[in-house]
């Protein structure tokens, strides 16, 4: 059975590739921001680059537009399904699990489609954070009858989820973990140490888009803020920078994991919210723009 569950986002009419300089490690400053109210300054003269696949940027674009912020859509990554996706359907159809762990919005979307193909069985989900759990809350009413989002950790990271996931005494606890092939092994390692039995399936992966429109890219390079939602997107953006160490823009990350990847790649102005999710991400962008305004006026 072959499932066409994921759409790939590409930009047509491939132009010549940019020359990629060697990445350098440089001093960086990281910002962890708290949720704030509406922006105090006018950002109408700024542009924010949104980098998810086409069709997945709409909510962020709309949220920014309410505050007069212009967005430039530049998809940086595309998702590709892997053979384990079919295994996920088979397991959901035939096996029950104590927990199903979902660690990103994309993993949640992939899971939902496989879950429907498996006949919508009753499942109990542990979501890594509010941004991920929102995907299930926004699902159709019929889906909510069978999917129980029963746990989110105190901090939206795989390590914390693995340390806090409830377990019933010393009984064997079976966990299904459908994930990106690029996800770390923090969850398997942490749960194994606690005596959980984990089945991991790499249901999809992320790749840089094959072609980028050079005209849009040149506009993006001069933008104040680039909004990224995954370590893969950060890597794709750095690969497109002619000279990463001289780029003066800011990166607004959806969460701490993505921000950590940005810092490791040498980006200097890195922001992420205290609470992952759309609202926290938007507030992160506001903070990045405020700092940009202050620096521009110095």
For residue range 66-121, what is the model confidence (pLDDT) as tens digits?
988 999 999 999 999 999 999 999 999 999 999 999 998 899 999 999 999 999 99
**pLDDT at residue 168, as a whole number:** 76
Average pLDDT of the chain is 84
* Sheet arrangement for strand 147-151: 77-81, 197-208, 174-180, 99-102, 123-127, 147-151
- Residue 48 β-bridge partners: 71, 225
Tokens 């040149």, located at residue: 218
Q: Is the pTM higher than 0.85?
A: no
Q: In which band, very low, low, confident or very high, does the pLDDT at 297 lie, cut at 50, 70 and 90?
A: low
**pLDDT at residue 172, as a whole number:** 84
**pLDDT at residue 238, as a whole number:** 96
Average pLDDT rounded to a whole number, residues 242-261: 90
Per-residue pLDDT at 196 exceeds 50: yes
Which among 189, 187, 259 is positioned nearest to 28, based on CA atoms?
Answer: 259
Residue count (the chain): 298
If residue 137 lies in a helix (H) or strand (E), which one and from where to where? helix 130-137
**pLDDT at residue 105, as a whole number:** 87
**pLDDT at residue 248, as a whole number:** 86
Q: In which band, very low, low, confident or very high, does the pLDDT at 42 lie, cut at 50, 70 and 90?
A: low
Is 205 in contact with 182 (CB distance < 8 Å)? yes
Q: Pull the structure tokens for residue 11.
A: 């930009």
């Amino acid at each position: 059975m072959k499932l066409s569950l994921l759409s790939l986002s590409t930009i047509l009419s491939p132009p010549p590739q940019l020359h990629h300089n060697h990445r350098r490690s440089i001093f960086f400053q990281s910002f962890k921001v708290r949720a704030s109210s509406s922006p105090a300054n006018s950002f109408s003269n700024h542009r924010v680059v949104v980098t998810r696949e086409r069709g997945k940027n709409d909510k962020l674009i709309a949220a920014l537009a309410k505050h007069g912020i212009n967005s430039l859509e530049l998809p940086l990554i595309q998702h590709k399904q892997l053979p384990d996706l079919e295994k996920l359907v088979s397991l959901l159809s035939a096996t029950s699990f104590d927990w199903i762990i979902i660690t990103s919005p994309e993993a949640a979307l992939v899971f939902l489609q496989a879950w429907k193909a498996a006949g919508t069985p009753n499942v109990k989900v542990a979501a890594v954070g509010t941004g991920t759990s929102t995907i299930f809350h926004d699902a159709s009413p019929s889906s909510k009858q069978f999917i129980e989002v029963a746990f989110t950790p105190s901090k939206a990271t795989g390590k914390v989820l693995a340390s806090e996931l409830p377990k019933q005494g010393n009984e064997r606890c079976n966990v299904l973990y459908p994930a990106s092939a690029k996800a770390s092994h923090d969850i398997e390692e942490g749960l194994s140490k606690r005596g959980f039995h984990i089945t991991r399936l790499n249901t999809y992966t992320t790749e840089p888009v094959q072609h980028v429109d050079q005209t849009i890219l040149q506009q993006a390079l001069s933008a104040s803020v680039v909004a990224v939602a995954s370590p893969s997107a950060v890597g794709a953006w750095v690969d497109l920078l002619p000279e990463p160490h001289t780029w003066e823009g800011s990166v607004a990350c959806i969460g701490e994991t993505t921000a950590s990847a940005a810092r490791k790649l040498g980006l200097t102005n890195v922001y992420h919210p205290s609470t992952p999710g759309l609202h926290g991400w938007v507030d992160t962008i506001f903070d990045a723009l405020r700092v940009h305004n202050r620096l521009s006026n110095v």
